Amino acid sequence: MLSKNLIRKLTLTTALLLSAVLFGAPSVIADTQAAPDEATRADTHTVLITGANRGIGLELARQFAADQWRVIGTARKPDEADELRAAGARVVQLDVTSATSVGNMARELADTPIDLLINNAGIQPLMWTLEEVDFDDFERALAVNTTGPVRVTRALLPNLRSGKLRRIVNITTNLSSIAGNTDGGFYGYRESKAALNMFTKSLAMDLGPEGFVCIALHPGWVRTDMGGPQAPLQVEESARGMIAVIDRLTPGDNGAFLTYSGERMAW
């Protein structure tokens, strides 16, 4: 049987605990509840997507934002990037063909670690035969699709080195495959993207020892302004597939040429 003194001690202890719950616990509970949010913010990764104001880039921005990534989306005309801004992205002005524009972006983001760079900005000139080649269009395709990613990647390399994931994804096309070119055509587009693939491979060899994983990624034939209404793949499915591929990347994938469904393509 408990003594009266012990009962009094237990009663006092109970009263103190009850008082702590009623008056002291809210701050404890608040701290406990706040911790996961702080941890989530600390663990959030940052992705920068070029050409993110429409098409594949915009859908990637939407889906990464929905997955709680910090999204930086670039646009040549930020004033016209309302949908990108509505997706929760930080909008940064960028023209990948302009050294001045790329330099301004790099200065604006100087203190921002970037975990994943997606070089998505691209154009597709419609030149089916050699006779149809317009050399101004051909050179612009090279400037946007090839030189642009080189310029952007070099400018953001310090940001990528300070990030945790060290991932670089260059959006390419199955039409860039030399082994897969069985019907010709697509002048300017094929060449510029094949050169992008080679840049990707060189990046992989150079940066792999630092823990980078660099890949060329084919989004499929997607129903966008570039892909056209006859394309069989919805942009939501393409973006979802590419994000799944990116999430599964390992050091063994460094230098790979992959599709949105995770298949390996012949160079």
Instruction: Identify the CA nearest to 259 among candidates 204, 217, 203, 196.
Output: 217
The catalytically annotated residue of 186, 189, 199, 260 is 189
* Helix H or strand E encompassing 204: helix 189-207
Residue 260 a catalytic site member: no
Q: Which two tokens stand for residue 17?
A: 């605990």
212 and 206 Cβ atoms separated by less than 8 Å: no
Beta strands across the sheet bearing 257-259: 90-93, 70-75, 46-49, 116-119, 167-171, 213-218, 257-259
DSSP state of 208: G
Q: Which residues are catalytic?
A: 189
